[in-house]
Amino acid sequence: MEQFNPRARSDPYGKKINRDQSPVLVHGIPWATIIVASLTPMLPIIAAAPVLPPLGLIFMVAWRLLRPGLLPLWAGFPLGLFDDLYSGQPLGSGILLFSLTLIALDMLEVRFPWRNFWQNWLTATLVFLVYLGLATLFSGANPSLRQFVVVVPQLLLSILLFPIVASITALLDRIRLLRVRRIG
Amino acid sequence: MAPPAAHRSGSNKRAQLGLFAGYVVAGSGALIGAVLLIISLVSPQTFQGLRSMASDLAAPAGQAGAVGRTQGRSFFEAIAGYYDAGSKNAELEREIEIARVRLAEAEALRQENERLKGVLNLASGETEPVAVARLIGSTSASTRRFAYLSAGREDGVANGMPVTSPMGLVGRVLEAGANSSRVLLLTDSESLVPVRRATDDVVAFAEGRADGSLRIRLINLGINPLEEGDIFVTSGAGGMFRPGVAVGMITEITPDGGIAQLLSNPAATDVVIVEPIWQQPILDGIEEVDVGDAVD
């Protein structure tokens, strides 16, 4: 068969015979991308106002919507804890909000098992709206209207960024499922 | 994508239990988060150790980035120098800008000196900086305005020390880690700095607004004497910041003061200086008296 078509026994993820996916890539890539995205405060951007979107949350939502069941339901605890260590929010705000996000997305999934991208985008928009609102409320500063106004550009940026992050996760998903491990 | 089969537990008792356990674990995770949040809202310094450990770990990467930022900028400035003679002007303009701030500060110092010499007959020397470091990052995704500094306890940095740049005050150290620390920027809504107008003794508080500007609140209410372009410097009240460091310039007048723009924009600062707390012995004395009162 290979004489006629060298790619006969392979698919987009590589050869099918004698090869398997690497568990490190399969489970490591989603966690690693979310953790790296949570490290954005260490970028040399000294902002006078909140300008960067909450990248850790955006990546988590993107992975969760792309591959349901890949992140366990309790993943919000460790991921939120890590995000809290750098984000400047009081410790616990990320743990609570990340966990609630995963639970909410899980419940949404029971209601709408089949979704298209536009529904995912709408879901993500709602998640970002609620997350940024609550994060501002929990930030430890006296909540005033002005702070919620300051968050609006960040919210818009997050919403616009979601399709890009979703394509990045889709690309990483293809790398994640490559059959790189040789069996036998 | 369709949900995995685990979601459709059907009549499988084991799958049902697994699904239920998942919700219980996730729900208790959220609950723990809520409890931690309440603890850290009530006493913000509770998890200082954990956070400074984390920022110590990530600091080397941040520092490399900060050096890269500075070098990258000077690299592009060098290229721009060939194409655009104006960029040489930019450097000069920046120097003039610093000089202008310096002038206002000098004016403030002169006044301060006059007053001190006249009233107290005291002389205080130049403050020796504790450390010179870089700002390696900031919480650019949160409404709180913290920055990360590439110096910590090992360099002598302690909680509460003022952080300044050549252009003026940047903030103060909130949590000092081993080799990195967290700085509360002036624009954070919890930051409050006693200031006075550089030209006279109009005293006020500079309060951070989350959007990168400062709100100047006059202490003596009455007719608002402020004008656009007034420069405010630290007054030294409270003993934390030494007097005469530039803070902000009024750009808008409000009924109880004004809105000021930061003079030392943290985004444009490469290197910052950590200064000792101005009146540390006196502050310590006050604390001791407080403790003494509490014991009595």
Instruction: Give B124-167 pLDDT, tens digit per residue.
Output: 456 778 888 888 888 888 888 888 888 889 989 998 899 988 88
Q: Is B125 exposed, middle or buried (0-12, 13-18, 19+ CB in 10 A)?
A: exposed
Task: Determine, yes or no, domain membership for B264.
Answer: yes
Distance from CA of A17 to the nearest CA of B (A): 25
In the predicted model, is pLDDT for residue B279 greater than 90? Answer: no
Query: What is the average pLDDT across B4-17?
Result: 72
Percent of chain B, pLDDT > 90? 10
C-alpha pair distances (Å), B284 with each of A82, B153, B209, B290, B293 = 36, 19, 30, 10, 14
**Chain B residue numbers touching A96 (CB-CB < 8 A):** 30, 33-34, 36-37
B:171-190 residues touching chain A, CB 8 A cutoff = 185, 187-190
Are residue B152 and residue B67 in the same domain, yes or no?
Answer: no
Does A169 or A142 have the greater pLDDT score?
Answer: A169
- Across the interface, of B30, B46, B138, the residue whose CB is closest to A99 is B30
Are residue B238 and residue B200 in the same domain, yes or no?
Answer: yes
Are residue B101 and residue B232 in the same domain, yes or no?
Answer: no
Q: State residue B283's pLDDT score.
A: 67
Spatial separation of the C-alpha atoms in residues B289 and B27, rounded to whole Å: 47
Closest residue in B to A88 (Cα) is: B139
In the predicted model, is pLDDT for residue B2 greater than 70? Answer: no
Token reading at A51: 């300008």
Triad A129, A135, A139: Cα angle to 5°: 150
Q: State residue A158's pLDDT score.
A: 94
In the predicted model, is pLDDT for residue B87 greater than 80? Answer: no
The 3-state DSSP class for residue B269 equals: coil
Spatial separation of the C-alpha atoms in residues B248 and B94, rounded to whole Å: 16
In the predicted model, is pLDDT for residue A164 greater than 60? Answer: yes
Distance of CA A70 to the CA centre of its chain: 11
Q: Which of B77, B103, B124 is the last residue of a domain?
A: B124
Q: State residue B296's pLDDT score.
A: 41
Does B118 or A178 have the greater pLDDT score?
Answer: A178
Task: Determine, yes or no, domain membership for B7.
Answer: no
A:12-41 residues touching chain B, CB 8 A cutoff = 39-41
Triad B209, A134, B146: Cα angle to 5°: 40
Are residue B175 and residue B240 in the same domain, yes or no?
Answer: yes
Q: State residue B119's pLDDT score.
A: 61
Distance of CA B103 to the CA centre of its chain: 24
Task: Determine, yes or no, domain membership for B221.
Answer: yes
Range of the domain at B163: 131-274
Task: Determine, yes or no, domain membership for B37.
Answer: no
Are residue B80 and residue B107 in the same domain, yes or no?
Answer: yes
In the predicted model, is pLDDT for residue B47 greater than 50? Answer: yes
Spatial separation of the C-alpha atoms in residues A124 and A128, rounded to whole Å: 6
Query: What is the average pLDDT across A21-45?
Result: 90
Cβ(A39)–Cβ(A31) below 8 Å: no
ipTM surpasses 0.85: no
Provide the 10 A C-beta neighbour count for residue A6.
9
The H-or-E segment that residue A28 falls in is helix A23-38
DSSP B170: E
| Cα–Cα nearest to B226, from B191, B203, B257, B193 | B257
- CB–CB contact A42 B61 (8 Å): yes
In the predicted model, is pLDDT for residue B171 greater than 80? Answer: yes
In the predicted model, is pLDDT for residue A173 greater than 90? Answer: yes
Spatial separation of the C-alpha atoms in residues A56 and A51, rounded to whole Å: 14
Kind of pairing between the strands at B131-138 and B271-274: antiparallel
**Mutation site, A46, A82, A137, interface B, largest B CB count within 10 A:** A46
Cβ(A14)–Cβ(A165) below 8 Å: no
The 3-state DSSP class for residue B245 equals: coil
Does B212 lie at the interface with A, CB-CB under 8 angstroms? Answer: yes
Q: State residue B12's pLDDT score.
A: 81
Q: State residue B122's pLDDT score.
A: 47
| Cα–Cα nearest to B62, from B184, B150, B172 | B150
Token reading at B199: 């030209």
Report the amino acid identity of residue B67.
Answer: V
In the predicted model, is pLDDT for residue B82 greater than 70? Answer: no
Query: What is the average pLDDT across B196-220?
Result: 86
Are residue B142 and residue B187 in the same domain, yes or no?
Answer: yes
Q: State residue B285's pLDDT score.
A: 67
Does A4 or B68 have the greater pLDDT score?
Answer: A4
Report the amino acid identity of residue A50.
Answer: P
Provide the 10 A C-beta neighbour count for residue B289.
10
Task: Determine, yes or no, domain membership for B291.
Answer: no
The 3-state DSSP class for residue B112 equals: helix
Mean pLDDT check: name the lowest of A65-74, B9-18, B74-83, B211-220: B74-83
- Across the interface, of B46, B66, B140, the residue whose CB is closest to A52 is B140
Residue B83: which pLDDT band, with cuts at 50, 70 and 90?
low
Closest residue in A to B68 (Cα) is: A44
Q: State residue A168's pLDDT score.
A: 95
**Chain B residue numbers touching A149 (CB-CB < 8 A):** 211
The 3-state DSSP class for residue A166 equals: helix
Distance from CA of A43 to the nearest CA of B (A): 5
Task: Determine, yes or no, domain membership for B52.
Answer: no
pTM of the model: 0.81
In the predicted model, is pLDDT for residue A145 greater than 60? Answer: yes
Q: Where are the domains of chain A?
A: 19-178
DSSP B201: -
Q: How many domains does chain B have?
A: 2
Instruction: Give B25-40 pLDDT, tens digit per residue.
Output: 999 999 999 999 999 8
Residue B292: which pLDDT band, with cuts at 50, 70 and 90?
very low
B:86-125 residues touching chain A, CB 8 A cutoff = none
Query: What is the average pLDDT across A123-151?
Result: 88
- According to DSSP H, which parts of B1-155 are helical? 13-42, 48-83, 86-119
C-alpha pair distances (Å), A164 with each of A17, A32, A171, B135 = 34, 18, 11, 29
Q: State residue B294's pLDDT score.
A: 44
Residue B72: which pLDDT band, with cuts at 50, 70 and 90?
low
In the predicted model, is pLDDT for residue A74 greater than 60? Answer: yes
Task: Determine, yes or no, domain membership for B259.
Answer: yes
Q: State residue B123's pLDDT score.
A: 44
**Chain B residue numbers touching A52 (CB-CB < 8 A):** 140-141
In the predicted model, is pLDDT for residue B121 greater than 70? Answer: no
Cβ(B22)–Cβ(B7) below 8 Å: no
Provide the 10 A C-beta neighbour count for residue B285.
12
Q: State residue B287's pLDDT score.
A: 60
- The rounded radius of gyration (Å) of the Cα atoms in chain B is 25
Instruction: Give B93-119 pLDDT, tens digit per residue.
Output: 888 888 888 888 888 888 877 777 666
Cβ(A80)–Cβ(A56) below 8 Å: no
Spatial separation of the C-alpha atoms in residues B244 and A135, rounded to whole Å: 36
- Across the interface, of A43, A52, A77, the residue whose CB is closest to B33 is A77
Does A49 lie at the interface with B, CB-CB under 8 angstroms? Answer: yes
Does A90 lie at the interface with B, CB-CB under 8 angstroms? Answer: yes
Are residue B153 and residue B255 in the same domain, yes or no?
Answer: yes
Are residue B95 and residue B178 in the same domain, yes or no?
Answer: no
- CB–CB contact B34 A72 (8 Å): no
Spatial separation of the C-alpha atoms in residues B181 and B173, rounded to whole Å: 7
Task: Determine, yes or no, domain membership for B211.
Answer: yes
- CB–CB contact B141 A87 (8 Å): yes
Write the Ramachandran bin of A122: left for phi over 0, alpha for psi from -120 to 50, otherwise beta. alpha
Does A50 lie at the interface with B, CB-CB under 8 angstroms? Answer: yes
Q: Which of B105, B124, B143 is the last residue of a domain?
A: B124
**A-B C-beta contacts closer than 8 Å:** 214
- CB–CB contact B33 A80 (8 Å): yes
In the predicted model, is pLDDT for residue B9 greater than 80? Answer: no
Question: How many Cα atoms occupy the beta-carbon half-sphere of B254 within 13 Å?
Answer: 11
